[in-house]
Amino acid sequence: MPDTLLSINGLSAGTEDKPILHDISLTVDAGQTHVLMGPNGAGKSTLGHVIMGDPTYRVASGSITFDGTDITELSPDKRSLAGIFLSYQAPVEVPGVPLYSFLRTICQMRPELKTTARKFRQRVADICKQLDMDDSFLTRELNVGFSGGEKKKIEMLQLLLLQPKLAILDETDSGLDVDALAIVSRGIEAYRQECDGALLIITHNTRILERLDVDRTHVMVRGSLVGEGDASLIDEIDATGFGRFEEALAAKGGAN
Ligand SMILES: Nc1ncnc2c1ncn2[C@@H]1O[C@H](COP(=O)(O)OP(=O)(O)OP(=O)(O)O)[C@@H](O)[C@H]1O
Ligand SMILES: [Mg+2]
């Protein structure tokens, strides 16, 4: 029996005045790679944020269980400590906090990642090299003034350092040039192999998936999950779009 890592049951959520997600149920087993696709505005990023506990959103019903614990009411920092990582579609800038200090602080908060300053410096240097990242980035303020592609690489650096049990990557590939895309893809592959971590990848671009074995693909339309399949579903969507899923939802008297 595989170990269930993330289990979402009948989850409905939204902002204070706008329902966005409707009756979402989804299970990710340890070490699996899942892909979430859907048209713009479907609610994919919202689902990522709700799994992470973003207080912008309110859970109206349903539950989220992670690694055997109900985390529906848990704060984002506790979810992060439990082993969930969210790479943001648009990473936030944190003025005044140098990237290196930020990385050191978050790793020191994890008993399993605590290490000496020297070993930590070496580990960071190794990952920077792996990601073809200029190590002058480390002394700059977190995400401030970095280009879109550079911010995505910084998120990969965090992913490889933190080794979470589940990484939710929200359009980590958007805006990357062809070389950066290859580097980020290799970073994700390294996370899969070195940490045996699970992935929930939100993407419109299937190139990022080329180096990965996808276990399940989910399709979200207007806040509802309307399709699920194996990796072949990605090729079908690439070829024919979301039309049949929109129609299926409409036939069911779809939400929103
Ligand atoms: N904080 C918020 N306040 C108001 N509306 C919101 C908020 N967050 C999300 N929404 C709305 O919820 C819907 C789903 O947004 P979301 O960002 O989850 O879509 P998405 O599937 O990630 O789209 P994309 O592929 O364009 O990134 C959109 O209509 C969006 O405007
Ligand atoms: Mg989004």
For 210-251, the pLDDT digits (tens) are: 878 999 999 999 999 999 999 999 999 999 999 999 998 998
Q: Write down the pLDDT at residue 256.
A: 52
- Report which of 196, 212, 161 is spatially closest to residue 31, judged by C-alpha positions: 196
Positive or negative, the CA dihedral 162, 111, 74, 92 is negative
> How far is CA 154 from each of CA 71, 149, 223, rounded to the nearest angstrom?
27, 9, 30
Give yes or no for residue 44 CB within 6 A of ligand 1: yes
Spatial contact of 166 and 200, defined as CB atoms under 8 Å apart: yes
Atom of ligand 1 nearest to the CA of 89: 27
Residue 183 lies in a domain: yes
Q: Is residue 134 part of a domain?
A: no
Mutate to test the pocket of ligand 1, among 12, 16, 21, 44 (most ligand atoms within 8 A of CB): 44
Read off the pLDDT of each residue in 87-96 and give the average, rounded to a whole number: 79
Compute the distance from residue 113 Cα to the ligand 1 centre, in Å.
34
What's residue 254's pLDDT?
Answer: 66
Statement: residue 167 has pLDDT above 60: yes
Kind of pairing between the strands at 58-66 and 19-29: unpaired
Is any atom of ligand 1 closer than 6 Å to the C-beta of 20? yes
Give a yes or no: residue 199 inside a domain: yes
- Reading the block at residue 94, the tokens are 């944190």
Question: Is 158 part of a structural domain of the chain?
Answer: no
Q: How many domains does the chain contain in total?
A: 1
Lowest mean pLDDT among 72-81, 154-163, 181-190: 181-190
The type of residue at 165 is K
Answer yes or no: is 112 within a domain: no
What does the pLDDT read at residue 227? 95
Q: Which residue has the tokens 């790479």?
A: 87
Residue 220 lies in a domain: yes
Range of the structural domain that residue 246 is part of = 4-90+167-251
Which contacts of 145-153 are long-range, i.e. CB under 8 A and separated by 24 or more positions? 145/93, 148/174, 148/175, 148/176, 149/175, 149/176, 149/177, 149/180, 151/91, 152/87, 152/91, 152/176, 152/180, 152/184, 153/180, 153/183, 153/184, 153/187
- Smallest-distance ligand from the CA of 42: 1
Euclidean distance between CA atoms 65 and 51, whole angstroms? 9
Say if 175 falls within a structural domain.
yes
| pLDDT at site 224 | 97
For residues 129-146, give the mean pLDDT: 88
Q: Which whole number is the average pLDDT over 178-194?
A: 87
Q: How far does the centroid of ligand 2 lie from the alpha carbon of residue 56, in Å?
A: 15
pLDDT tens for residues 206-215?
Answer: 888 887 899 9
Does the CA dihedral 101-185-50-15 come out positive or negative?
Answer: positive
Residues near 124 by beta carbon (within 8 Å), at least 6 away in sequence? 100, 103, 135, 138, 157, 161
98 assigned to some structural domain: no
For residue 171, give the ligand 1 atom closest to its CA.
Answer: 27
The C-alpha atoms of residue 135 and residue 98 are separated, in whole angstroms, by 12
The residue behind tokens 């009948």 is 10
The domain that contains 55 carries what CATH number? Answer: 3.40.50.300
Describe the crossing of helices 148-162 and 178-195 by its angle, rounded to 10 degrees: 10
